[in-house]
Chains A and B, each alone.
Chain A
Amino acid sequence: MLSHLAQRALERDGLADVSEKVMAHERLTESDALRLFEANDLAAVGALANHVREERHGDLTFYNRNAHLNFTNVCVASCKFCSFARPDDRAASEGWTMSLDEAVEKVLAKRHLGITEVHSTNGLHPDLPWEYYVELPRRIRAVWPELTLTFYSAVEIHFFAEKFGKTYEQVLTELKEAGVATLPGGGAEIFAPRVRRKICDDKATAEQWLEVHRVAHRLGMKTNATMLYGTIERAEERVDHMSRLRALQDETGGFQVFIPLAFHPEHNMIGKAFPKPTGFDGLRTYAVARLFLDNFDHLKAYWVMIGERLAQTALSFGVDDLDGTVLEERIYHMAGAETPQALAEPQLHRLIRSAGRTPAERDSVYRVLRVHDGAARA
């Protein structure tokens, strides 16, 4: 039940019809989503999103024990929001590329940490051979078969297909055979061509990004979906973005989680013109996403990006997943994120518990491994 206070506030905002649809589990239109964005009533819209969140997941809040592997920051693309990419491997440009041995070793060295997933997204390197990308998961899996490999964003998959003369299906099939289980959701940015032309005009288009995920879903791979907010996009372009994801999800059911990502302004080409989106914008975006994306099970706040306090707050605005312990993240930290490099599991539990929620460790396809509903650890 939605509280009287929430009902009254939504009526006051002229959102009674949207609220009724949500309560009746009816689908919201794009214009409904736009009205939710424009209502500027965080308390009321948040309460409605929280209702949906609790209806789906109760108090459970998901996380996993994961690490990131960014094996190269050398990138042929020139996305204007990016602080991570460098044009080449020369020391002067701060570019780096790990050798295959180094990358494998980097992952295997974490074996004793009890992680269940490695998440890898990287620059579009001009020279690395196809064998590198296939050998990496294959060699990791040979030694550590239980580890789930969430490897290569759709932008990278598209890049491989073009560079190595393969279809998406061939690329994905080979990677799947090599041990890649799921795809991360990166590189979606904003689908609207107007925005894409301005902030990332030389990488996979919206259609190509969506097609990679469509093929992955057809091959039985689960994937994630992201949206980069806070650059030059308008509210209706965020809604359009989510709408395209919702349509593909209707078709395939292969997305497991939606992850809005806040633009980080430091050390990149457009940071001066566009300050970091405020926390209000983030909370509002989570809430609208939870209400609009009725066919997505999960909504993730990536704490590395928005900070622990806001991520914790987001747990009452629709969010049910906080990503994970995230060892060795580099992309956001190079864009000025001041969050710690990793959160120990007890810290993550405390963050979740002090928001009145119950921590639930999940695997990479959202199966619950353990519900931590006992008393807090000392």
Chain B
Amino acid sequence: MPKIRATAVSFLNARPLTYGLEASDRIELRLEEPSASARALEQGEVDVALLSVAAVAGTDWEIVPGIGIGADGPVTTVLLAGEQSPAIWDEVFLDTASRTSHVLSKLILDSMGVHPRFTPMPAADGLALARGTKGALVIGDRAFDVRANQVLDLAREWNHLTHKPMVFAVWAARPGVLSPEICVEFQRAAATGLGVRTEIAQAFARERGGDPERYRRYLTHRLRYGLGNFELEGLETFFARAAERGFLPPTTLRFADDRIRSRVPRRASSAGAIDAALQRGAAGERLDAGEAELLDESAALPDLLLAADARRRALHPDGVVTYIVSRNVNYTNVCSTACHFCAFYRPRGHEEAYVLSRDELAKKIEETIALGGIEVLLQGGLHPELGVEWYEDLFRWMKRDYPSINLHALSPEEIWHIARTSELALDATIDRLVAAGLDSIPGGGAEVLDDEVRRRIAPLKCSTDEWLAVMRAAHRHGLKSTATLMFGVGEEARHRVAHLTRLRELQDETGGFTAFICWPFQSANTRLAPGANSAHDYLRVNALSRLVLDNVPNFQASWVTMGGGVAQAALHGGCNDFGSVMIEENVVSAAGTTFAMDSDEVERHIRDAGFVPVRRNMQYQRLGGAGA
């Protein structure tokens, strides 16, 4: 069988895609300048080319699914540079190397209301001429050396403008060339190359000089090699805007495997991309939304478990699994929110409605202390009449009578509600609660942090932004909190991934989340139809979350909802904590979950799964003596 002839540029950013082809016995690779690649493909000198995406416009070429070169933030190698602000530029010299960057420059400047004259010019000359009211486009490896007063990173600008990733290059072929096997060959080569990016960066530094670490970060943190739903949306937006402004002919993307385009599970066709994302996640590299969605939809459970387990081993290498002795006290079941998934709440005046008295609370706290408990988790419904003073009194009383007990209380929803009921600003509310004794807050009520989903399942609850705002404010006040995800309410992969990336962004900002825990919606006794209350899905979502939330230190296994055995499996799929022993948990048990364990049973489960049980406090500090 004759070899497939392929061509690509020698830029650093292409090397992870081409590295693995050097050993291929099916594909023969040659390297050339970007503009030469498109011509070679057009004239039939090669069968496949790694092309700047603009070169695909108006052709009938087919794209290899699953892989490409893009960025969903600054890319650092596609730059407009000049001496003065771009706002006053009247001429821009376009590096002749890439048509995509030309179009992107025009779109970005256009969006800024800047309409200079564009003049093709070799990059080195352009940069030298970029003085005064003149700017220059510089792309590729040359951009590493750009020193200029004014620099616009076009990928970052694009992302700000459209909230979508930018895709710069794809493997394209004349129709009929790309068989499934050849696609897999390109995808496998990418998986191979992505696994050796450190080595590629070092080799590049030896060739060209410069800091290998900088090149490595460029390959691992700036560039995105996946071509998932998000990237495809970015690509479609790019072509649509370029066509609208007349910069490119109207373009329909054609894929060798059109199943990619119809967004159905892509298990077979993008095996290479899945493998690459898994390996990146397992190595602790940051997954972008496209990769996370790909894994959510298409990765096999055993591989997700292995990747998440690799992360757990890296973050918690000593084989300790922690747990806490804490009691969940639901101080009231009166709630005005009436979420569709909740079996716990009662309207005011209902015969089963209650607010716990001090005596009842005291009894529960004393029982907790007697059982070795160090924390009370106080949560309740959104009672329309309880203002901040009621909570202040309660907290002061608890802290005075039981100073040893950590007060882990009030989900963001409740804090938001208290602020509203008391007509106080969020910050002032939190200030007062902290002054009264609040130590940390639980992450409940997050459900799925996507308003499309929230509006459907909990229309009266706070919005995604409001939930995050409470957490941000709480973290700023020095409170630590947990983060949660309740999935299986009819949401899609993109919603779960949006939830996780929002938590990750906030964690980047505040570092206030100590741990993450997820569980599937429990369906008995509630108004939502039975969802996928599935242990399989739980283990998948938990493992995926471990990979995406690279900045959250601890993961709790949810044995309360899933049972001890599935939770043990979660310890081998990303978790390093077994949550709390069960003294009381009304909300979940009202929906029909009946698992219960005391500390002996929790420790037996941890030990049996091959770990060492150690008690902890809410800050995840290990407590001496117990459990060793």
Q: Which residue of A lies closest to B610 (CB)?
A: A40
Cβ–Cβ < 8 Å partners of B571 in chain A: 280
B496 close to chain A: CB less than 8 A:
no
**Pair B569/A9 contact, Cβ less than 8 Å:** no
A309 close to chain B: CB less than 8 A:
yes
Question: Among residues 245 to 302 in chain A, which have CB atoms less than 8 Å away from a CB atom of chain B?
Answer: 275, 277-283
Cβ–Cβ < 8 Å partners of B532 in chain A: 354
Among B303, B309, B594, B608, the residue within 8 A (CB) of A3 is B303
Among A47, A275, A312, A356, the residue within 8 A (CB) of B305 is A47
Taken together as a complex, chains A and B put the C-alpha atoms of A221 and B278 apart, in Å, by 47
B536 close to chain A: CB less than 8 A:
yes
**Pair A309/B572 contact, Cβ less than 8 Å:** no
Question: Among residues 4 to 46 in chain B, which have CB atoms less than 8 Å away from a CB atom of chain A?
Answer: none
**Pair A354/B306 contact, Cβ less than 8 Å:** no
Q: Which range contains the number of B residues in contact with the other chain?
A: 35 or more
**Pair B565/A47 contact, Cβ less than 8 Å:** no
Q: Which residue of B lies closest to A6 (CB)?
A: B306
- Chain B CB within 10 A, most for which of A46, A50, A278, A280: A280
Taken together as a complex, chains A and B put the C-alpha atoms of A42 and B543 apart, in Å, by 14
A306 close to chain B: CB less than 8 A:
yes
Among A3, A41, A42, A277, the residue within 8 A (CB) of B569 is A42
Among B282, B564, B594, B604, the residue within 8 A (CB) of A5 is B282
Cβ–Cβ < 8 Å partners of A6 in chain B: 302-303, 306
Cβ–Cβ < 8 Å partners of B191 in chain A: 4
**Pair B536/A316 contact, Cβ less than 8 Å:** yes
Taken together as a complex, chains A and B put the C-alpha atoms of A351 and B532 apart, in Å, by 9
B605 close to chain A: CB less than 8 A:
yes
Q: Which residue of B lies closest to A9 (CB)?
A: B306
A43 close to chain B: CB less than 8 A:
yes
Question: Distance (Å) between the CB of B274 and the closest chain A CB?
Answer: 9
**Pair A313/B565 contact, Cβ less than 8 Å:** yes
Taken together as a complex, chains A and B put the C-alpha atoms of A44 and B610 apart, in Å, by 14
Cβ–Cβ < 8 Å partners of B610 in chain A: 40-42, 280
Cβ–Cβ < 8 Å partners of B564 in chain A: 278-279
Taken together as a complex, chains A and B put the C-alpha atoms of A210 and B537 apart, in Å, by 40
Cβ–Cβ < 8 Å partners of B279 in chain A: 4-5
Contact with A along B259-290 (1 / 0, CB 8 A): 00000000000000001001100100000000
**Pair A307/B301 contact, Cβ less than 8 Å:** no
Question: Distance (Å) between the CB of A54 and the closest chain B CB?
Answer: 9
- Given A4-B275, A5-B306, A44-B306, the answer on whether A315 and B563 have CB atoms closer than 8 Å is no
B101 close to chain A: CB less than 8 A:
no
**Pair A278/B566 contact, Cβ less than 8 Å:** no
- Chain B CB within 10 A, most for which of A5, A47, A306, A351: A5
B310 close to chain A: CB less than 8 A:
yes
- Given A5-B310, A47-B306, A309-B562, the answer on whether A279 and B572 have CB atoms closer than 8 Å is no
Cβ–Cβ < 8 Å partners of B537 in chain A: 354
B573 close to chain A: CB less than 8 A:
yes
Question: Distance (Å) between the CB of A94 and the closest chain B CB?
Answer: 25
Among B278, B301, B306, B605, the residue within 8 A (CB) of A356 is B301
**Pair A309/B563 contact, Cβ less than 8 Å:** yes
Taken together as a complex, chains A and B put the C-alpha atoms of A42 and B309 apart, in Å, by 10
Among A50, A307, A355, the residue within 8 A (CB) of B534 is A355
Cβ–Cβ < 8 Å partners of B604 in chain A: 275, 278
**Pair B536/A43 contact, Cβ less than 8 Å:** no
A177 close to chain B: CB less than 8 A:
no
Among A5, A278, A354, the residue within 8 A (CB) of B605 is A278
Question: Distance (Å) between the CB of A277 and the closest chain B CB?
Answer: 8
A195 close to chain B: CB less than 8 A:
no
B256 close to chain A: CB less than 8 A:
no
- Chain B CB within 10 A, most for which of A42, A43, A50, A356: A43
A28 close to chain B: CB less than 8 A:
no
- Given A3-B306, A4-B275, A356-B301, the answer on whether A43 and B565 have CB atoms closer than 8 Å is no
Question: Distance (Å) between the CB of B442 and the closest chain A CB?
Answer: 24
Question: Among residues 1 to 40 in chain A, which have CB atoms less than 8 Å away from a CB atom of chain B?
Answer: 3-6, 9, 40
Among A5, A278, A312, A355, the residue within 8 A (CB) of B608 is A278
Among A4, A275, A278, A307, the residue within 8 A (CB) of B609 is A278
Question: Distance (Å) between the CB of B172 and the closest chain A CB?
Answer: 27
Cβ–Cβ < 8 Å partners of B562 in chain A: 309
A338 close to chain B: CB less than 8 A:
yes
Q: Which residue of A lies closest to B529 (CB)?
A: A378
**Pair B569/A280 contact, Cβ less than 8 Å:** yes
**Pair B275/A278 contact, Cβ less than 8 Å:** no
Among B300, B305, B594, B608, the residue within 8 A (CB) of A280 is B608
Question: Distance (Å) between the CB of B253 and the closest chain A CB?
Answer: 29
Cβ–Cβ < 8 Å partners of B535 in chain A: 309-310, 312-313
Question: Among residues 193 to 213 in chain B, which have CB atoms less than 8 Å away from a CB atom of chain A?
Answer: 195
Question: Among residues 531 to 568 in chain B, which have CB atoms less than 8 Å away from a CB atom of chain A?
Answer: 532, 534-537, 539, 562-568
Cβ–Cβ < 8 Å partners of A42 in chain B: 305, 568-569, 572, 609-610
**Pair B278/A313 contact, Cβ less than 8 Å:** no
B307 close to chain A: CB less than 8 A:
yes
Cβ–Cβ < 8 Å partners of B282 in chain A: 5
Among A40, A47, A282, A354, the residue within 8 A (CB) of B303 is A47
Q: Which range contains the number of A residues in contact with the other chain?
A: 20 to 34
Cβ–Cβ < 8 Å partners of A313 in chain B: 535-536, 539, 565-566, 569
Question: Distance (Å) between the CB of A262 and the closest chain B CB?
Answer: 10
Question: Distance (Å) between the CB of B313 and the closest chain A CB?
Answer: 9
- Given A5-B278, A313-B535, the answer on whether A281 and B309 have CB atoms closer than 8 Å is no
Taken together as a complex, chains A and B put the C-alpha atoms of A331 and B493 apart, in Å, by 42
Taken together as a complex, chains A and B put the C-alpha atoms of A275 and B605 apart, in Å, by 11
Cβ–Cβ < 8 Å partners of B566 in chain A: 279, 309-310, 313
Question: Among residues 303 to 333 in chain B, which have CB atoms less than 8 Å away from a CB atom of chain A?
Answer: 303, 305-307, 309-310
Taken together as a complex, chains A and B put the C-alpha atoms of A9 and B306 apart, in Å, by 8
- Chain A CB within 10 A, most for which of B191, B303, B532, B573: B303
Q: Which residue of A lies closest to B308 (CB)?
A: A43
Cβ–Cβ < 8 Å partners of B303 in chain A: 3, 5-6, 47
**Pair B302/A46 contact, Cβ less than 8 Å:** yes
Cβ–Cβ < 8 Å partners of A46 in chain B: 302, 305, 572
Cβ–Cβ < 8 Å partners of B301 in chain A: 50, 316, 356
**Pair B275/A354 contact, Cβ less than 8 Å:** no
Among B278, B567, B573, the residue within 8 A (CB) of A43 is B573
Question: Distance (Å) between the CB of A111 and the closest chain B CB?
Answer: 30
- Given A43-B306, A278-B608, A278-B609, the answer on whether A354 and B536 have CB atoms closer than 8 Å is yes
Among A4, A280, A355, the residue within 8 A (CB) of B568 is A280
Question: Among residues 568 to 624 in chain B, which have CB atoms less than 8 Å away from a CB atom of chain A?
Answer: 568-569, 571-573, 594, 601, 604-605, 608-610
Cβ–Cβ < 8 Å partners of A354 in chain B: 532, 534, 536-537
Among A3, A9, A315, the residue within 8 A (CB) of B275 is A3
Cβ–Cβ < 8 Å partners of A312 in chain B: 534-536
Cβ–Cβ < 8 Å partners of A351 in chain B: 534
Question: Distance (Å) between the CB of A23 and the closest chain B CB?
Answer: 15
**Pair A41/B572 contact, Cβ less than 8 Å:** yes
**Pair B565/A9 contact, Cβ less than 8 Å:** no
Among A43, A338, A355, the residue within 8 A (CB) of B572 is A43
Taken together as a complex, chains A and B put the C-alpha atoms of A279 and B282 apart, in Å, by 25
Cβ–Cβ < 8 Å partners of B567 in chain A: 279
Since A50-B300, A316-B536 are in contact, a sample of 14 more A-B pairs with Cβ atoms closer than 8 Å, ordered by chain A residue number, is: A5-B310, A6-B306, A9-B310, A44-B309, A275-B604, A278-B565, A279-B566, A283-B569, A312-B536, A315-B536, A316-B301, A351-B534, A354-B532, A355-B534
Binding site for B on A (CB under 8 A): 3-6, 9, 40-44, 46-47, 50, 275, 277-283, 306-307, 309-310, 312-313, 315-316, 338, 351, 354-356
Closest 4 CB pairs of A and B: A279-B565, A40-B610, A280-B568, A47-B302
Binding site for A on B (CB under 8 A): 191, 195, 275, 278-279, 282, 300-303, 305-307, 309-310, 532, 534-537, 539, 562-569, 571-573, 594, 601, 604-605, 608-610
5 A-B interface contacts by CB (under 8 A): A5-B278, A42-B610, A310-B563, A312-B535, A354-B536
